[in-house]
Structure 1
Amino acid sequence: MTRVEMSGTYQIAVSDQQSAVEISESVVERIIRETLTVEGVLEAEISVALVDDPTIHDVNRDHLDHDYPTDVISFLFEDEVLTEPGPRAPRGAGKRIEGEIIVSGDTAVREAARFGWSPENELTLYLVHGLLHLCGYDDLTDEEQPLMRERERAVLALWGLKPHYDE
């Protein structure tokens, strides 16, 4: 994968409100920083909430009108292009973003068992997925989904991970 040579300034706040996945705040911060760096994001204020299924269910219902728990929800509060990126740059390149990512530890444990890898790896997938949404990727259309999946694979490869949807 091509690394974007842009070093960013990142403010990251992590709130761990779940007990299903044991993961340190420093590991979560590292995943966020490395993802933002390879995306070429220049500045970011990101808050991450690790929660349980009932909590993410409430957020999903109250804010997105989906009455079920989910894996990850991201909210982009603000984004701004600080430096125009080149034509082949990742979608986050040159941006300043502010947003929140909410991740379900319960879902990570359940899905990790289903796909045969660790809950920490599943949680990493969710964090990367949520960040890519904040950077401007989408997976809700047939046209956009392959682009987002390709970027997820590239970022997860930083840690030697291969997403289960490739199987």
Structure 2
Amino acid sequence: MISFNYEGDFKLENEQAVSQWVSATILNEGYNEGEINYIFCDDDYLHKINVKYLDHDTLTDIISFDYSVGKELHGDIYISTERVTENAKDFRVEFSEELHRVIIHGILHYCGYKDKTDQESKEMRSLENHYLTKR
């Protein structure tokens, strides 16, 4: 089950369509959907989580906590809508495109994809682009 939670004024448009898109991505990657929580928040909220749990004193657009068991995906995905807004401006894309990229990015991490090296980042970006065409 995919749920959407909000710490602030932001509200995701068309939750049902986004949920179906994420579910289809999970199945396409060969995994089963467990309990996945998206939490949309601001920079301050996510920064506190970054410092407290990851010991990183930086701003970020997404933090995902993976509680998956085998092929069943479970986790909490925190997304700063302020960072997504800034990134959309920097990348010269619409907010909704960048938001969907970040939404699927978290799921791809749960599916085992990494983005620490240049090659991993290229593969992740390619998969993000692929799934963005499926929404």
- Give the deviation of 1:125 after TM superposition: 0.5
Query: What is the RMSD of the two structures over their aligned residues, measured on CA atoms?
Result: 1.9
Measured in 2, the distance between the counterparts of 1:117 and 1:18 equals: 23
Question: 1:26–1:16: structure 2 CA closer, same or farther, 3 Å change rule?
Answer: farther
The structure with more helix, counted as a fraction of residues: 2
**Structure 1 residue 31 and structure 2 residue 21: aligned?**
yes
TM-score of the pair, normalised by structure 1 = 0.72
Q: Give % identity.
A: 33
Match of 1:97 among 73, 95, 102: 73
User: 4+ residue stretches of structure 1 with deviation over 6 A?
Assistant: none
**Number of corresponding residues:** 135
Larger Rg: 1
Measured in 2, the distance between the counterparts of 1:35 and 1:152 equals: 10
- Give the deviation of 1:150 after TM superposition: 2.2
- Give the deviation of 1:72 after TM superposition: 0.7
Aligned to 1:19: 9
* Unmatched segments (≥5 aa) in structure 2: none
1:154 aligned counterpart, secondary structure? helix
TM-score of the pair, normalised by structure 2 = 0.87
Measured in 1, the distance between the counterparts of 2:102 and 2:6 equals: 15
- Give the deviation of 1:62 after TM superposition: 1.0
Contact residue 23 and residue 33 of structure 2 kept, 8 A: no
* Unmatched segments (≥5 aa) in structure 1: 1-10, 81-94, 160-167
Aligned to 2:112: 136
Contact residue 77 and residue 99 of structure 1 kept, 8 A: yes
